[in-house]
């Protein structure tokens, strides 16, 4: 591929940001694509500061990856917002356009493509389980409905967040809150935990996940305790870093115009994780 020598800048912003592996993924993509002159930075941007930061960016800035707490702010500052970013109220991607910034949420695609690496269902699963109903859970909800799920079981420590319930209703998803079932809940095709890393894993009592593909969006070395419990029931567990890879791959496509070199990005990600 012919190298692109023009200067282009991209980067990831949020707080905290030092742990972000986005630079590893995007820089590996630029190298594999032969995009000389492309740079990817990592910058600490506190809550409430994203609009100011964006207004000071240079003209050759092509895009930003946005982590928390800036995802809702990214939607607010954009001149154009995708349907999924509007639905979830969060954007993890900003793309520079002639008319301002375009906001996208590639977490949704990341969830879908990560789950697709699991068990191939004989027919589209109609039921899924989501642990948590926070901001990330909304992206998971949109992703699951997008692949045909219609009944969503949720596990929460207290109550379902109103914005999550409203989103489920707008998507015509049937929301079921997990309590103490009198009989095993079967037919779960997918299960996704959005609980923070290091938190006590949610109980699987009452759920039959023997035919499920499961994903814990929090990632570290090896499977999480929750994912291990699921696997003990026979579920196919997908590591959370697969979502990270696929959402970054979609960002690369949006920012560069080239299909992401996922093999090279995956190799760089695995090497970085082994070095932690």
Tokens 């699921």 label which residue? 230
Q: Determine which one of 26, 33, 64, 71 is catalytic.
A: 71
Q: What is the DSSP string of 237-256?
A: EEPTHHHHHHHHHHHHHHHH
Q: Which of 105, 149, 99 is nearest to 129 (CA)?
A: 149
Task: Evaluate whether 9 touches 63 at the Cβ level (below 8 Å).
Answer: no
Q: Is 71 a catalytic residue?
A: yes
Instruction: Name 166's Cβ contacts closer than 8 Å, sequence gap at least 6.
Output: none
Q: What is the DSSP string of 119-130?
A: ---SS---EEEE
Structure tokens at 159: 């109550």
Structure tokens at 103: 């906001």
Calpha distance 243→216 (Å, rounded): 9
Instruction: Name 199's Cβ contacts closer than 8 Å, sequence gap at least 6.
Output: none
Annotated active-site positions, please? 71
């Amino acid at each position: 591929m012919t190298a692109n020598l023009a200067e282009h800048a991209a980067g990831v912003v949020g707080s905290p940001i030092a742990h972000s592996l986005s630079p590893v993924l995007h820089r590996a993509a630029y190298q594999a694509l032969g995009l000389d002159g492309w740079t990817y930075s990592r910058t600490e941007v506190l809550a409430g500061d994203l609009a100011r930061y964006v207004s000071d960016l240079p003209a050759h800035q092509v895009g930003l990856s946005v982590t928390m707490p800036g995802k809702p702010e990214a939607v607010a500052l954009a001149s154009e917002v995708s349907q999924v970013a509007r639905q979830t109220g969060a954007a993890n991607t900003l793309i520079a356009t002639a008319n301002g910034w375009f906001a996208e949420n590639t977490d949704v695609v990341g969830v879908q493509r990560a789950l697709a690496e699991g068990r191939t269902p004989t027919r589209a699963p109609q039921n899924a389980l989501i642990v948590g109903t926070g901001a990330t859970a909304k992206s998971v909800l949109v992703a699951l409905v997008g692949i045909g799920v219609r009944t969503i079981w949720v596990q929460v420590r207290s109550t379902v967040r109103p914005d999550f319930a409203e989103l489920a209703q707008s998507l015509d998803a049937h929301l079921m809150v997990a309590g103490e079932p009198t009989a095993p809940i079967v037919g779960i095709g997918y299960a996704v935990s959005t609980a923070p890393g290091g938190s006590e894993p949610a109980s699987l009592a009452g759920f039959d996940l023997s035919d499920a593909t499961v994903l814990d969006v929090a990632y570290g070395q090896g499977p999480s305790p929750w994912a291990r419990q699921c696997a003990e029931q026979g579920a196919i567990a997908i590591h959370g870093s697969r979502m990270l890879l696929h959402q970054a791959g979609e960002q690369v496509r949006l920012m560069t115009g080239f299909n992401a070199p996922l093999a090279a990005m995956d190799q760089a990600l695995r090497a970085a994780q082994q070095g932690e």
